Amino acid sequence: MYKFLKTAFLALAIVCLSGRLVAHTSAKEALPVSSSASSAILYEPSTGTVLYEKNAHIKRPMASTTKLMTALLTAECLPPDRVVTVRREALEVIGSTVGLQAGDRLTVRDLLYALLLASGNDAANVLAFETDGSLDAYAARMNARAEAIGMTDTRFVTPSGLDAEGHGSTAYDMALLAAEVLKNDRTAEACATVTADIVVSDRVLTVRNHNRLLTELEGCVGMKTGYTSQSGRCLVTAATRDGVTLIAVTLDCADDWAEHRAMLEEGFACVKNVVCEPPALTEIPVFGGTSASVSVTGEPVSFVGLRDAETPKASVRAVPYVWAPIEAGETLGTVEYRVGDTVVATAPLVATASVDVMPRAPFLTRVWDMFFGMLRELLSG
């Protein structure tokens, strides 16, 4: 497995986590080990690197892992403190529920926890009706958001994940969705919660997360379980260790707990977070300023790479000169981080201080402007 991971990461082993450089790569062949999953993937979200895949682009039903999209839309569309009144039409659902009744009142925050922890199909429907007024309109919203994320092989029909004609996704698309859910503070926090008390009208219910890996796997931060007779067992798991986050997805996997442990442990054994400090200060000449030069520096850059990978070296690419005024923080070039001759990331090179324009007497203004006008033309030519 390590050999495969190394091959995948050599295609793109490093990324700047500041978001100034984002690149993507993917493995093209399945990991040469036995797997009981119909589809599976191990994904590193900051680079978009697929560390392991098996039938990762084949569309399958994904059961209640669907609720990751419902949770994301809830966090993006509804304020957490809004009080929702449960409609009777939202309760026409089968499968797992939290026992909501028509007329019950509870907050969006509590509905989100009922959705993600107890996997309440009733909570999913209530949130859909509250957001868009109908399940069909909500499905359209789900599909539009999926398209924006890049989930090209996904179609949502229900907010709960119950089997429906055409409802399905791929392991790869679900990994993209999981990465988006982790970016949202509300959904990320809910996915990582083991138990929560929710208030439904005049009663308090304790909901418990179905994902046992939250308490059994080091660094696990969620995310969602799922099962129907058509989909089989489905699981999306995310874990973070030492600054590295990995996402595992299996669709139709009888032994999903064990497989997610194995994939994630193997992945963390092969990758690490590398922090590169900025280079030493560089001086750039300043024309027409109160100072003859300005100091510039880069920013620390974090990378995800192989544990035995060479540490990138920084090189500065700065402008040859600048004209005053200069503002502190102004970008005056770039720092390139290289492994050998390959640029693997960049960061801005910024001024460490401001430089004002040199004050001058009024009678020298025209002479000054003419002189520096000619100097600019000479240097630019």
28 is catalytic: no
Active site includes 59?
A: no
Q: What is the DSSP letter of 64?
A: G
Sequence-distant (6+) residues with CB within 8 A of 171 are 39, 40, 41, 53, 54, 55, 56, 57, 249, 250, 251
List 64, 96, 160, 169, catalytic entry: 64
Q: Which position among 39, 46, 96, 119 bears the catalytic label?
A: 119
What DSSP line would sit under 323-362, residue for residue?
A: ES-B-TT-EEEEEEEEETTEEEEEEEEEESS-BPBPP--G
Retrieve residue 209's tokens. 């997360």
Q: Which of 228, 234, 226 is nearest to 255 (CA)?
A: 234
Annotated catalytic residue 119? yes
Closest residue by Cα to residue 222 from 314, 142, 117: 117
How far, in Å, CA of 127 to CA of 86, rounded? 9
Phi then psi dihedrals of residue 355, to 5 deg: -130, 120
Longest dimension (CA), the chain: 88
Of 35, 54, 59, 67, catalytic: 67
Exposure string of 3-16, with b = 16+ CB inside 10 Å and e = fewer, is ebbbebbeebbbbb
Q: Which residues contact 262 (CB under 8 A, 6 or more apart)?
A: none
Looking at the annotation, which residues are catalytic? 64, 67, 119
